[in-house]
């Protein structure tokens, strides 16, 4: 049975679900640097944005009973190539070394809001 949810720890999305769980597979929509009130965190500050994004991914996974050690796929979209070294420092704080997922990182010209510097979507499994 497919379950769709929007955890209260995340901002209210317009027209989509943050989390879809189908059996043992969990899909998390692209997470950006917004807090639960919908406020953008860290405008112009990649580190603050990346930490908020990964906290959002973590909250989305925990809302359905799984966690970052069960990531299978990680898709990352970034708007500034110069942020890549900082990304490589921040990601390991959230993604366990012993459970590295397959990963794609794309540099793009922009995201849904021009203040966003990073967006991360994931696929995970249940424990």
Q: Taking residues 14-23, what's their average pLDDT?
A: 96
Give the pLDDT band of residue 99 (cuts 50, 70, 90).
confident
Class of domain 2-125: alpha beta
Check residue 98 and report its DSSP letter.
G
| Cα 72 to Cα 60, 87, 109, 113, 127, distances in angstroms | 15, 19, 26, 27, 12
pLDDT of 93 above 90: yes
Q: Taking residues 75-89, what's their average pLDDT?
A: 98
**pLDDT reported for residue 98:** 87
Sheet with 118-125: strands ordered across: 2-5, 19-22, 25-31, 118-125, 71-78, 102-107
**pLDDT reported for residue 108:** 98
pLDDT digits (tens, 9 = 90+) for 22-58: 999 999 999 999 999 999 999 999 999 999 999 999 9
């Amino acid at each position: 049975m497919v379950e769709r949810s929007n955890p209260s720890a995340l901002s209210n999305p317009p027209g989509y679900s943050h989390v879809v769980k189908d059996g043992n597979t969990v899909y998390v929509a692209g997470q950006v640097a917004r807090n639960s009130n919908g406020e953008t965190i860290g405008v112009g500050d990649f580190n603050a944005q990346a930490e908020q994004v990964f906290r959002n991914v973590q909250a989305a996974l925990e809302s359905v009973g799984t966690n970052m050690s069960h990531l299978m796929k990680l898709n990352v979209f970034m708007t500034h190539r110069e942020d890549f070294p900082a990304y490589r420092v921040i990601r390991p704080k959230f993604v366990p070394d012993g459970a590295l997922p397959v990963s794609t990182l794309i540099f793009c010209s922009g995201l849904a809001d021009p203040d966003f510097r990073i967006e991360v979507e994931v696929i995970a499994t249940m424990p």
